[in-house]
Structure 1
Amino acid sequence: MAVGETRFPAMPAIDGLRLGTAMAGIKTPCRRDLVVVEIPAGARVAGSFTRNAFCAAPVTLAKANLAACRAKGEGPRYLVINTGNANAGTGEVGLRDARATCAELARLAGVNEDGVLPFSTGVIGEPLPMERLLGGLPVALASLGADGEAWHQAGEGILTTDTRPKGASVTLALGERTVTINGISKGSGMIKPNMATMLAFVATDAAIEQELLDSLLRETVDRSFNCITVDGDTSTNDACMLIATGRGATVHGDEEIAVFRNGLQRIMTELAQAIVRDGEGATKFVTLQIEEAASREEALDVAFTVAHSPLVKTALYASDANWGRILAAVGRAPLADFDVSRVAIDLGDVRLVEHGGRATGYTEEDGSRVMGQEEITIRIALGRGEEVATVWTTDLSHDYVSINADYRS
């Protein structure tokens, strides 16, 4: 089940970057579950990782190897991603297995071991099936390609409970030259990033200085992946990587940086929204727009308080115009000196709340009409300032419970 007809786009090659996949049988036979990404020498790489204290072994090692590469003035040469097993909650054994994966890929590819960054997603607390994983590496390397099909297969190879691969692509004009940005993501449940289980891998042929690349990643992640939630759970394995191969136009000067930033934000937002649309058991795609806040932080506090309310989410699933649940969630958001008489709440084109109570002219029929739609916007004006924030979420259905009750089986 997924909301909307999001299709995997045609993707042009990113000069210098290749992707390969294998069916290693890590959890499910006869499906792509191992992905290798080859990065050219001289490329720059930025990363954003989960803040979960139980971060997975591959996250720990990826961060360490990325730092080691930077200390040597180099960039990583390979990413290796497996699905079906998160290699999280596995202690020293998990770190040993992550290192062994990097060492074997490094040996096969002829690069330094710390030039390989590992990523995993899937069941927590189980050891990696190392024989099958390592056996899939030569197959993935042999299949390396740069075209759209390679991107599509990589998008399939990183999925867990997702129902479809997720991708986005844009080509931007920078003066007389162009740059391309491609990205894939995965995530369906355990989605509330704090840097969704989510992984994202975005690449461009642009030439960008490392400091700017790091800054652009932080900025665009904050307004995309950090603004989505399915169930309020931050994964042990979240990561978003941004690769700039440097083979295309150079991004410099305020105007070109602005063009590139806008293009990158579009990619990140599309990938983040695709995760919400494919949320486990989702039947609704919900946009929460918070306006007139005193700060962006309090706007996000209100948005996530509403988005995480089981009562709001189940009302959305039932198409039940029980707007009092939304009002109650707004009222318990952690805001100091909150004057509720200044709050206005709209459900689509219907005014629900104003002046501290039900809006004049509101009817149950109007509320039910909007709640029955597949895509819903809830707009909340706090009357406290000029800051805004947008968060995207889902409803909560019977299928969400079923998927997660059966996940390990």
Structure 2
Amino acid sequence: MKGIEGGITAAKGYKTGAVHSGIRASQSKKDLAVIVSDVPCQAAAVYTSNIVKAAPLHITREHLGDGTAQAIVINSGNANACAPRGEENALREAQAAAKLLGLKTEDVLVASTGVIGQELPIEVIETAMGQIVLTDDSADTAKAIMTTDTKMKQTAVEFELNGKTVHLGGIAKGSGMIHPNMGTMLCFVTTDAAISQSVLQQSLSKIVKKTFNRISVDGDTSTNDMCIVLANGLAGNEEITQQNDVFDQALESVMKDLAVMIASDGEGASRLIISTVVNAADETQAETLAMSVASSSLFKAAMFGSDANWGRVLCAMGYSGAKFDPEKVDVLFQSDAGTVEVAKNGRGLDFDEDLAKKILSRDQVQVVMNLHEGDVSVTCWGCDLTYDYVKINGDYRS
């Protein structure tokens, strides 16, 4: 497997396009996009765990009733959640895309992101849809789905299956309202692999737990989040009809790349936090502890200040709900500036504060918690909590 250029158009038979429709009058960025395959696809999706779900999720679930789709339409700037005529407008968005692409409405999936509670200006979407020009440029669409993101997020890989070259790529958006249990964000993955719908869904559901469900920015789970995978089979490989390690590794690679991009681009964030538990008794214990630390507002604030306040690590572990022996825990911080051990057997060590400050001032900082209880390791990802997070979310609707 190797990384390649592109995102959702890296695989054979996919086109995409984006346009500025004016969903938010105060913005001039492209805000409406479509992704389409030359042929019908096997499709799988996972959705937010938030009980309050946006209208596009309901329409997408309905259209995925047969496990197939051929296109996705996405808008940014308006979530179409808790909004007047939500499902009616989501359906009209799908109909407008279907008309553009010459498809049946039920073969188009819908995703929205942006402000909650405001009616989707469907007329501007319907008017602008006809201006979309399909190309091989994934970047335009990756940018069009951004809201408070500061960086475009796309990645792709190439690998071999049954002697055939297969491609898999994706784009994502996410910066705030990022917390696990699906949802986390919007993510769209395309592949030219031939794979059954049931296996595709199994792989997606399994891998999302190890990627998008292991990131946290602010503890909020959005109303709109979903991850969709389309597989059109144009690579010509023998159809995958049972779990396949090679395909799963490729899907995990793309989804992990996108998850880490989201965590590092958290609203107002100045650094990526890598939270790793090692020598745990089992995966559940390790994941619970690593996520608790990555999600801790106090710890995230300490990382913003480059403060080696390791007590906040033990504190977050202690309220996580996972059982462990705090008398066995060692804690260290590391980055490309070095490593400093700050606690051993649950007790503080004398350490070089200047070195610790230097280590924690880097763009990527890792905290490692050694439980000395087994041989399982899990990593989760988050970001620091800065002044800008409050500024961004204090006037998000304006």
Q: Residues 84-163 of structure 1 correspond to what in structure 2 (within 5 A)?
A: 84-90=77-83, 93-140=85-132, 143-145=133-135, 147=136, 149=137, 151-163=138-150
Tell me whether 131-140 or 394-403 shows the greater mean CA deviation. 131-140
Distance 1:131 1:42, change over 3 A: closer
Shift in Å, 1:219: 2.0
Among candidates 340, 345, 366, match of residue 377 of structure 1:
366
Which residue of 70, 88, 104 maps to 1:77? 70
The 1:216–1:59 alpha-carbon spacing in structure 2 relative to 1, beyond 3 Å, is same
Displacement of 1:254 in angstroms is: 11
SS of structure 2 residue aligned to 1:283: coil
Structure 1's consecutive aligned runs of 4 or more residues displaced over 6 angstroms after TM superposition are 253-256
Deviation for aligned residue 1:387: 2.9
1:404 deviates by: 0.7
Under a length normalisation based on structure 1, what TM-score does the superposition of the two structures give? 0.90
Distance 1:290 1:252, change over 3 A: farther
What secondary structure does 1:128 align onto? Answer: coil
1:355 maps to 345
Per residue, is there more helix in 1 or in 2? 1
2:396 is paired with a residue whose SS is: coil
Partner amino acid for 2:71? Y
Confirm or deny that 1:40 pairs with 2:27: no
Match of 1:231, SS?
Answer: coil
Are the equivalent residues in 1 in contact too, given 2:173–2:187 (CA < 8 A)?
Answer: yes
Q: Distance in 2 between matches of 1:198 and 1:211?
A: 23
Match of 2:187 in 1: 200
Which residue of structure 2 aligns with residue 391 of structure 1?
Answer: 380
SS of 1:243 mapped into structure 2: strand
Q: Are residue 339 (structure 1) and residue 339 (structure 2) matched?
A: no
Q: TM-score, normalised by structure 2?
A: 0.92
CA distance in 2, matches of 1:197, 1:96: 25
Which secondary structure state, in structure 1, belongs to the residue aligned with residue 203 of structure 2? helix
Percent identity between matched residues is 37
Partner of 1:3: none
| CA shift for structure 1 position 105 | 2.7
Contact 2:10/2:168, CA 8 A, preserved across alignment: no
User: 1:273 aligns to what?
Assistant: 260
1:24 aligns with 2:10: no
Q: Does 1:305 align with 2:292?
A: yes
Match of 1:5 in 2: none
In the alignment, what sits opposite 2:354?
A: 365
Residue 211 (str. 1) matches residue 198 (str. 2): yes
Alignment-mate amino acid for residue 125 of structure 1: G
Residue identity in the other structure for 2:348: R
What is the letter of the counterpart of residue 352 of structure 1?
Answer: V
Other structure's SS at 2:131 match: helix
Q: Distance in 1 between matches of 2:73 and 2:222?
A: 19
How far 1:255 moved relative to its partner?
A: 12
Pairwise CA RMSD: 2.1
Aligned partners of 1:57 and 1:339: how far apart in 2?
45
Indicate the residue corresponding to 1:243 in structure 2: 230
**Structure 1 residue 171 and structure 2 residue 158: aligned?**
yes
Q: Secondary structure at the match of 1:136?
A: helix
User: 1:342, 1:355 within 8 Å by CA — same for their partners in 2?
Assistant: yes
Structure 1 unmatched ranges of 5 or more? 1-7
Choose which of 249, 252, 259 in structure 1 pairs with 2:246: 259
The CA distance in 2 between the partners of 1:200 and 1:253, in whole Å, is 23
Kindly state the Cα deviation for residue 291 of structure 1 after the two structures are TM-superposed. 1.9
Which has the larger displacement, 325-334 or 43-52?
325-334
For residues 183-194 of structure 1, the aligned pairs below 5 Å read: 183-194=170-181
Change (3 A) 1:196 1:321: same
Name the CA shift for 1:178/1:194 in 2 (closer, same or farther; >3 Å).
Answer: same
Q: Is 1:15 aligned with 2:12?
A: yes
CA contact (8 A) 1:167 1:271 kept: yes
Query: What amino acid maps onto 2:124 in structure 1?
Result: R
Query: What stretches of structure 2 of length at least 5 have no aligned partner?
Result: none
Cα gap change, 1:252 to 1:311, in 2 (>3 Å): same
Please say if residues 54 and 80 of structure 2, whose CA atoms lie closer than 8 Å, have aligned partners that are also in contact: yes
How many angstroms apart in 1 are the aligned matches of 2:251 and 2:184? Answer: 22
Q: Which amino acid aligns with 1:223?
A: K
CA distance in 2: counterparts of 1:115 and 1:252, whole angstroms? 22
> 1:197 touches 1:236 (CA, 8 Å); kept in 2?
no
Q: Given the alignment of the two structures, is residue 282 of structure 1 paired with residue 272 of structure 2, yes or no?
A: no
CA distance in 2, matches of 1:206, 1:129: 37
Residues in 1 aligned to 2:47 and 2:118: alpha-carbon distance in whole angstroms: 21
Q: Provide the C-alpha distance between the structure 2 equivalents of 1:389 and 1:251, rounded to a whole number of angstroms.
A: 34
Q: Secondary structure at the match of 2:127?
A: helix
Post-superposition Cα deviations, 1:173-201, rounded to whole Å, max 9, x if no partner, equal: 23532111111110111111322561111
Kindly report which structure 2 residues correspond to 1:43-82, keeping only aligned pairs within 5 A, or say none.
43-67=41-65, 69-70=66-67, 75-82=68-75
Structure 2 counterpart of 1:4: none
Q: How much does 1:276 deviate?
A: 1.2
